[in-house]
Amino acid sequence: MISSGLTVVIPAHNEASYLPRYLPTVLASLERWQETNSEQGEVIVVDNASTDATADMAASFGVRVVGESVRNISRVRNIGAAAARGRMLFFTDADVALPLEAIATAAAAMDSGAVGGAIPPLYTPKRLGARLLCAYWDHYRTTHGGAQGVAQFATATAFKEIGGYREDLFMSEDTEFFARLTAHGRTTGAPVAILDDLRVRPSTRRYDQWSSLRMLWWQNPVTARRRLHSPRKWRHWYETTVR
C-alpha cells in the first residue's frame, strides 16, 4: 500500500556480521532526509533464507523485517517493494555504506520529476587487478549510462508500471531494470538521475577474497550477458557468496 514517504529496501542473506557496520549509515541517511521533510521513511530488510541471525540483527535496529525463501535477488527486491509503504523506493545492499546525503538527494531528484535513478559505487579493493577491474566497470557505466543495483531508486508508481525487477534473471537484473526505467522515463518525459556527485561504498569482500582472475572471468562484458536465466550457471554468486 502506497501512503507517503520513502522506503529503503535491503536484501540480506547471512548478513548478521555486516548489518551492524552498514545499516547505521542507511538509518543516518534516512534520518537526515526526515529532518528537513514532513514525511517519514522506513527501512525494510528482506531476510533471504538466512541461516544466521540476520533477521534478529536487523530487527534490533528497529527496521521492518520480511522473509523470502527463494534465492533470487530480483524476487527479494520485489518482495520488499510489495511490502513498502513509501511513494518512493530506494534499493541498496546489506554491505553498502551510504553517504549522509544519499537519500535526501535521491528523494529531491524524484520530487523534482525524475522517475528514478542511481548513485554510483566506489569500490576500493586491496589488489591492483581488482581495482583496475572496478575502474573499467565505472568507465563502462559512465559511457553506457547504466547503473548497478547497489544503490538504485524509483518512484513506487514507476516501479509498478515497469513491473519491477525481472525474476527470470539471475545476474545483470539491475542493469536490465535500469534500462527499462530509463526507457520508461523517456516515454513519460521524466528523466532518470544518476547522482555523480555522490558515491556509495560497497564492501570489497568478493574482490578481496576471490582472485583477480576469477573476478575477471565472472565480471566481464561477455560473461555478464550469457545464460542470465540459468540458476545453475550463477549458483556461485548465490551459494558461495563470500562473507
- Segment 202-242, tens digit of pLDDT: 887 776 776 777 666 566 666 666 656 666 655 666 666 66
Cell of residue 146, nine digits = 547504466
Helical pair 173-188 and 73-83, crossing angle rounded to 10 deg: 50
The mean pLDDT of the chain is: 87
Model confidence at 112: pLDDT above 80: yes
Residues facing residue 41 across a β-bridge:
6
Q: Predicted confidence band at 127 (pLDDT cuts at 50, 70, 90)?
A: confident
Burial class (CB in 10 A: 0-12, 13-18, 19+), 102: buried
* Strand, coil or helix: 6: strand
The CATH number assigned to the domain with range 6-124+147-203 reads 3.90.550.10
Among the ranges given (66-75, 82-91, 140-149, 186-195), the one the predictor scored with the smallest mean pLDDT: 140-149
Question: How far is residue 239's CA from residue 229's CA, in Å, rounded to a whole number?
Answer: 16
pLDDT score, position 49: 94
Mark out the alpha helices in the chain (DSSP H runs): 19-35, 54-60, 73-83, 102-111, 128-144, 156-162, 173-188, 205-209, 212-218, 235-239
Q: Predicted confidence band at 98 (pLDDT cuts at 50, 70, 90)?
A: very high
Question: How far is residue 116's CA from residue 178's CA, in Å, rounded to a whole number?
Answer: 9
pTM of the model: 0.87
Among the ranges given (3-7, 185-189, 211-215), the one the predictor scored with the smallest mean pLDDT: 211-215
Number of C-beta neighbours around residue 115 at 10 A = 26
